[in-house]
Chain A
Amino acid sequence: MKPLVTRVLATAAMLAAAGTALAADNASSPSYQQLQHNYSTLQKQMMQMQKQMAAMQKQVASQQKEIAASKSSKESVDEKATEQSIEDLYNQINKQSQKISQMEPGSTNFLIVGDANVTFTNQRGTPSQFSADVSPIIDWQLDKRLLLIAGFDFFTQGNSGDFSSGAGDVSIIDLSYILNDYMTVGGGMFPSPFAAYNNYFGPPWIEPMVDAPEVYSYLTPSNEVGGYISGAVPVGPTHFNYNFYASNGPDIISSDQNPNGPGSAPGALNFGDTNNYNNGKAIGGRLGFVPIPSLEVGYSFEYSEPVTQPSTAIATPFHVNAFLQAVDFNYGKVVKALDGLVRARGAWIFSSTDGAVYPGTVGPDPFNGHSNGGFVELYYQPTLIDVPYLKNLGYAFRYDRVDIPGNNPGALHEQRYSFGLNYWLYSDAVIKGEYEFDNVENTGGNNAFFLQFAVGI
């Protein structure tokens, strides 16, 4: 292409030069004819070359057209292939989605939590023994507001060593519905919010000691059978929470049905029986206040009109009024200055029931129905120190006491000092050791040693 252009330009230059020469010499020169002949020849050659050049340009344009057409066709094929693969991918995803949908259990959610433990107990006055306990809790979330909590407790009985003699209980049947941000309504059999412990600290992977404070065995309900409203309300940087309930309530221990066992003075309240023997219901609740996130304080109350259980020995059931009150606190935080986790919790319970003369007792008011008891518990674990094993060790101390008055063997004045050591395998698996100094008025008490392996499920 380039030589051809050069040749055309050279020819044009020559023609121009020839033209100039012709104009200068004009006619009759002898070489004029020759020059004119050459000029004509060159002009013909130039015309011929212009034709050739036009043909070549046409050819090049045609080739470019073909290339463009070919390229366009190839791109179209590639696009089709891509679309096909995307469609295949969508089909695969749809198939997998359908399979996953088929595996889903529905719109409800289901979960088993709870706890389990194996415990060795060596207490003065009774044979040492191993025991085991598993307490599964089924959470069935019917939707985002409706929840069923069903708790069970399966345990070995006594020191028989034969699991076939184990026993089981239903511990929770709690059906609740979240009405709005501030209120939940529910009912069934649920851990009593009274004095906080049973609702908050009962599971063995939460309580650093092996056994519960003694006062919760005698002066407080462990479960309520009834209905409740609960919720929490934020107020500035603090919040309140509440749980108010109406339940069957306790009944009264009378001497003929419970022969003066320790802590079971006639006239004392019996929380172990969930039946109601009159129409009087217990009305109670707990109001909690969280002034800072690591601290909660609470006030609880329960008013009831219990009666003695129907029996042949008591023609007319005794009917008294009972009023329980409690204050509790709970603190838990990782304190950097102490290189670890600090927990402190406690509660004090006041129980007041009408005095009465029960069968088998004497005097105008043999049962002084004013009992009280409580506990204070401290726990420290150096979680922030960089020493393996040592940072998994937790140290616990608890003081607890209970005073149930009365001038008969059913009265109880007991105080205990407990020292515990926890080794945490995981955040919810712990090996606990505890030694308990027990002091019971008149009898001296029964010191105890416990060893427990507990897990949260």
Chain B
Amino acid sequence: MRFGYTLASGLTLAALVAGLGACSSQHKAAATQSAAKESKLPQSDAGIFSNQYEEKQSGAQLWAENCERCHNLRSPSQFNAAQWDIIVHHMRVIGGLTAVEARKIRVFLESASGQ
């Protein structure tokens, strides 16, 4: 294998990732008040990466921001609470959601589904 080529392509990719990451470092997202219901969410299993930023985000906000990045937002009323529970579990496994994001999004969708 030509390691020079591998090294060069690896460095190029690392530079691209680092550049994109640096562009985002100035971002300051606005925190919103959590819904009262969401404040009663269960605590993290491990809790070693406690994140105040995530705790301040509302479920609706996390839902809109994270899901819309890849696809259109389906109406909360399209599924009932039990179905949203499964869908959010599915998306947590394949979609790279954090535990807090998944829990808040699930609580929001379950309450917004109206069922």
Contacts and interface: CB of A to CB of B under 8 A. Distances in A.
A111 B83 contact: yes
B36 interface: no
A109 B82 contact: yes
Contacts of B17: 289, 297-299, 327
Interface size class on chain A is 35 or more
Contact of A236 (B51, B75, B94, B96): B51
Nearest to A345: B70
Interface size class on chain B is 35 or more
B97 interface: yes
A293 B66 contact: yes
Interface string B72-105: 1111000000110111011011111111110000
A181 B46 CA distance: 7
A129 interface: no
Interface string A326-347: 1101111110000001000000
A350 B13 contact: yes
B21 A297 contact: yes
A293 B65 contact: yes
A320 B35 CA distance: 56
Contacts of A19: none
A182 B92 contact: no
B5 A181 contact: no
Contacts of B94: 149, 190-191, 199
Contact of B2 (A149, A332, A352): A352
Interface string B20-36: 11011101110000000
B86 A109 contact: yes
B80 to A, nearest CB: 10
Nearest to B73: A427
Interface in B49-78: 49, 51, 53-54, 62, 65-66, 68-75
A428 to B, nearest CB: 6
A348 B73 CA distance: 27
Contacts of A235: 49, 51
Given A298-B17, A333-B68, 4 more contacts: A182-B46, A205-B71, A234-B54, A352-B2
18 contacts: A149-B90, A176-B93, A180-B45, A181-B47, A230-B96, A233-B98, A234-B98, A236-B53, A292-B27, A294-B69, A296-B69, A326-B13, A327-B16, A333-B65, A333-B69, A348-B13, A352-B6, A369-B1
A-B pairs, top 5 by smallest CB distance, nearest first, are A291-B24, A241-B96, A293-B65, A181-B99, A234-B51
